[in-house]
């Protein structure tokens, strides 16, 4: 059984590491914040006090980190102390430039590497229903696929290095814009005194059907349980959606692509953050738009 080092034990990484340990992988975790170490150790995950200790003898190193700057810093430290050549997988959602740096850094040392950002949020991480969008070569992807299958229910090899990040940026751009439309639709329905469960029944099975309605409806007690039913406790925070939209806008500007709706959604989430609601789930935008 492969030894896995998991770097970054935040809300997502914590759940992903637990699923790997439950599948009987030998998992060693590391995070600069140690508050979850006791819980992880109670679930057969060894917790390290340094990156060097965490990656020692690892067959696979997975990182799940907040942004590209931190990914760059952490992987520089990892490669500086590596004694072997494990498979490197970065599951963070970051900009294309830093994803390219990650691949360049590992390639220079002949380390197999995949960028593999995820979709599904904390709920998907906990239930092991994440979707992995993977960039890299097919041989390395095939080696990693059993690991992806433990943490999620779908993985897609999107193309060569950085393709996973590119697809993730496009996916979350669409999700944000879609959630804005869903929120406006249900806000209008409320003002028209429509039964919102009936509206859900129609939209979820007709031309308005989309993931934001079918799986994440931002209306309390309508559709499957979602963050709105828990006071918008984040499955995927407004702050993180704001970050992902900034990545999409940056990529669009670099490639001279028009993204007007995305920029408007970005401004909405900027206002949510400015009003101290950045930690709430991104579906909170329905309340903001009221």
**273 has pLDDT over 80:** yes
Q: What whole-number distance in Å separates Cα of residue 214 and Cα of residue 201?
A: 9
Helix (H, G, I), strand (E, B) or coil at 35: coil
pLDDT in tens, 77-118: 999 999 999 999 999 999 999 999 999 999 999 999 999 999
Domain boundaries in the chain?
Answer: 3-160, 166-289
Q: Which residues make Cβ contacts (< 8 Å) with residue 214, sequence separation at least 6? A: 204, 223, 224
**128 has pLDDT over 80:** yes
Nearest to 98 by CA among 164, 8, 162, 163: 162
Between 64 and 120, name the one with better pLDDT. 64
Q: What whole-number distance in Å separates Cα of residue 91 and Cα of residue 120?
A: 12
Nearest to 287 by CA among 274, 276, 272, 273: 272
Per-residue pLDDT, averaged over 7-30, amounts to: 97
Q: What whole-number distance in Å separates Cα of residue 240 and Cα of residue 278?
A: 8
Is 3-160 in CATH node 3.40.50.1820? no
Beta partners for residue 115, in sequence order: 90, 135
Residue with tokens 């060894």: 46
pLDDT in tens, 196-254: 999 999 999 999 999 999 999 999 999 999 999 999 998 899 999 999 999 999 999 99
Q: What whole-number distance in Å separates Cα of residue 272 and Cα of residue 257?
A: 26
Spot the catalytic one: 36, 112, 168, 243. 168
Nearest to 187 by CA among 217, 226, 232: 217
Per-residue pLDDT, averaged over 162-185, amounts to: 97
Mean of all residue pLDDT scores within the chain: 96
**22 has pLDDT over 80:** yes
> Contact at 8 Å (CB) between 135 and 99?
yes
Is 166-289 in CATH node 1.10.1040.10? yes
- Would you place residue 3 in the very low, low, confident or very high pLDDT band (cuts 50, 70, 90)? very high
User: Is residue 104 annotated as part of the catalytic site, yes or no?
Assistant: no
- Tokens of residue 81, six digits: 């102390």
Instruction: Report the first-to-last Cα separation within the chain, whole angstroms.
Output: 52
The total number of residues written for the chain in this structure = 290
Rg of the chain, C-alpha, whole Å: 20
pLDDT of 235 reads: 86
Give me the helices (H) in the chain, please: 11-22, 37-41, 51-55, 68-81, 96-108, 121-127, 138-151, 163-191, 196-203, 211-214, 238-254, 260-274, 285-289
Q: What whole-number distance in Å separates Cα of residue 89 and Cα of residue 161?
A: 11
pTM: 0.92
């Amino acid at each position: 059984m492969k030894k896995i080092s998991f770097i970054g034990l935040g809300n997502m990484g914590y759940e992903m590491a637990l699923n790997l340990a439950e599948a009987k992988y030998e998992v060693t975790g590391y995070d600069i914040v140690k508050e979850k170490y006791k819980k992880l150790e109670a679930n057969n995950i060894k917790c390290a006090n340094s990156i060097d200790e965490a990656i020692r003898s690892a067959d696979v190193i997975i990182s799940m980190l907040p942004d590209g700057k931190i990914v760059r810093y952490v992987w520089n430290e990892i490669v500086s102390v590596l004694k072997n050549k494990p498979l490197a997988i970065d599951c963070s959602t970051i900009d294309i430039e830093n994803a390219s740096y990650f691949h360049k850094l590992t390639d220079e040392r002949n380390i197999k590497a995949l960028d593999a950002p995820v979709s599904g949020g904390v709920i998907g991480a906990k239930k092991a229903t994440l979707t992995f969008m993977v960039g890299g070569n097919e041989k390395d992807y095939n080696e990693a696929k059993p690991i992806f299958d433990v943490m999620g229910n779908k993985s897609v090899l999107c193309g060569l290095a950085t393709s996973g990040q590119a697809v993730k940026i496009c996916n979350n751009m669409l999700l944000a814009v879609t959630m804005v439309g869903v929120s406006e639709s249900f806000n209008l329905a409320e003002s028209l005194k429509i039964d919102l469960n009936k509206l859900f029944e129609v939209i979820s099975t007709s031309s308005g059907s989309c993931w934001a309605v079918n799986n994440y409806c931002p209306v309390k007690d309508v559709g499957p349980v979602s963050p709105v039913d828990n006071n918008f406790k984040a499955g995927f925070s407004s702050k993180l959606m704001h970050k992902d939209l900034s990545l999409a806008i940056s990529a669009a500007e670099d490639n001279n692509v028009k993204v007007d709706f995305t920029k408007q959604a970005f401004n909405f989430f900027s206002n949510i953050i400015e009003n101290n609601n950045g930690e709430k789930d991104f579906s909170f935008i329905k309340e903001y738009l009221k």
